[in-house]
A = this chain, B = another copy of it.
Amino acid sequence: MSDGSYAPTELTRLHRRPDRGSYDRALIHAILDEALVCHVGFVLEGRPHVIPTSILRQGEYVYIHGSPNNRMLSALADGAPACIEVTLVDSLVAGRSGFGCSMDYRSVVIYACGERVEGAEKPAIIDAIVQDLIPGHKVRPPKQKELDATLVLRFPLQEVSAKVRDRGVIDVEEDYARDDLWAGVIPLRITAGAPQDDARLKPGIATPDFAKRYKR
């Protein structure tokens, strides 16, 4: 494994469309950093389950968190193998056939087992999750009982791969001659609306700039 990319493994090697696959570390980090949520798959009592949850990447780990009373999260804390998936949809691709319609996207899949984050690292990660979600937002320090009521798990970035489609319209050659069908790309992105102050906000507290100018 070089510094610049992850080593493919049996689980992460792409069998189809290897041209869309990537193990590039910077690309994978960028996709994980842009994502608001991930989708965590795991097996419980022989059945597949998928839960959506917020995701933070820091160094060579991704972090998720939730309640220790969540039996799904507890199964992951106990080491159940997980498949963590992140997808960013960049555009709709309108081709000249149904077969030519698609999406441009960037996705990452991580295979890993989780481990509990404890001690001083735990409040640090919770703080980083807040800053990752809403950079600049100030909160009061956590109480011990809040830390106790939060399970933080980390998963190493080892078995990981990205898949990217960014080529827009790819039609069957003869379809390009058609003069009766439009084809193109409609870019999509997540945009923030005007922030809404909490109804119980104390008078005199202004809506901060980071909230007014939020960009993902």
Contacts and interface: CB of A to CB of B under 8 A. Distances in A.
A27 interface: no
Nearest to A142: B98
A191 B138 CA distance: 28
Interface residues of A, number: 97
Contacts of A134: 92, 94, 101, 186
Nearest to A191: B191
A207 B182 contact: yes
Copies in the assembly, this chain: 2
B214 A92 contact: yes
A92 to B, nearest CB: 6
A186 B202 contact: no
What are the 6 A-B residue pairs with the smallest beta carbon separation, nearest first? A41-B41, A41-B50, A187-B193, A39-B39, A52-B87, A50-B85
Interface of A: 11, 15-16, 36-37, 39-43, 46-52, 54, 67, 69-71, 81-85, 87, 89, 92, 94-101, 103, 105, 107, 109, 111, 123, 126-127, 129-130, 133-134, 137-140, 142-143, 146, 149-150, 168-169, 171, 175-198, 200-202, 204-208, 211, 214, 216
